[in-house]
Amino acid sequence: MKSICIKTNNQEIIEYLISTFEKLPMNLCISNYRFRKYDNVIIHDIQRDEKEFYDVISIVLKSAIERFFESDLIKKCIKENYFYLNEAEQEYVLKISHQIMNLPDNKIGYKNRLLKELIKRYVMENKAMILEGFMNFRAKEYKELLDNIVEVSVVSYLELTSF
């Protein structure tokens, strides 16, 4: 049996994870318990091979990270690194960044593959993942990629406004 425990205190993330895992055409056992500091979403699978199980877990967690963390990471990067832009300019850069993020990997590089592989590597080596901790301490390459995308967005914005 393969299992993974995803820990977070964000109820919206918990509901998203449970809902997404329940919709999968797999025979997973999903539970949600509060232990000490965190709510835990625990996923067990006895039918799939390990590779398929970890691929599915990685895809769902990648989707959750994109949905619940990505925009805030981009906003933080813009505010910290491009503070000289006014609020309207920062909003425009955010929109450009989101448009770039929605491009397929063959257009922007390897964002989707990078995030999925970071997650997969982590869950294969660990039986539990504190989602916020993973984002703070294990997703450095992903955050660097987001920083690069914001930089491209700022350059694009500045080129558009220089006419």
Is it the case that residue 91 has pLDDT exceeding 70? yes
Average pLDDT, the chain: 92
Decide if pLDDT at 126 tops 80: yes
Query: Tokens for 102?
Result: 């929605």
The model carries a pTM of 0.91
Q: In this model, does residue 100 exceed pLDDT 70?
A: yes
Distance of CA 40 to the CA centre of its chain: 18
- Residues 141 and 114: beta-carbon distance below 8 Å: yes
d(CA 102, CA 155): 18
Determine the Cα–Cα distance for residues 115 and 92; give it in Å rounded to an integer: 25
Instruction: Write down the pLDDT at residue 47.
Output: 77
What is the arithmetic mean of pLDDT over 14-30?
94
148 pLDDT above the threshold of 80: yes
Long-range contacts of 104-108 (CB under 8 A, 24+ apart): 108/149
Closest CA to 127 of 8, 44, 9, 30: 44
Judge whether 84 and 69 are in contact, CB under 8 Å: no
| Burial of 133: CB neighbours in 10 Å, binned 0-12, 13-18, 19+ | middle
For the chain, what are the domain ranges? 2-161
The model's pLDDT over 38-72, given as tens digits with 9 standing for 90+, comes to 999 999 997 767 889 999 999 999 999 999 999 99
Mean pLDDT in residue range 6-25: 96
pLDDT attached to residue 36: 84
Of the CA atoms within 13 Å of residue 160, those in its CB half-sphere come to: 10
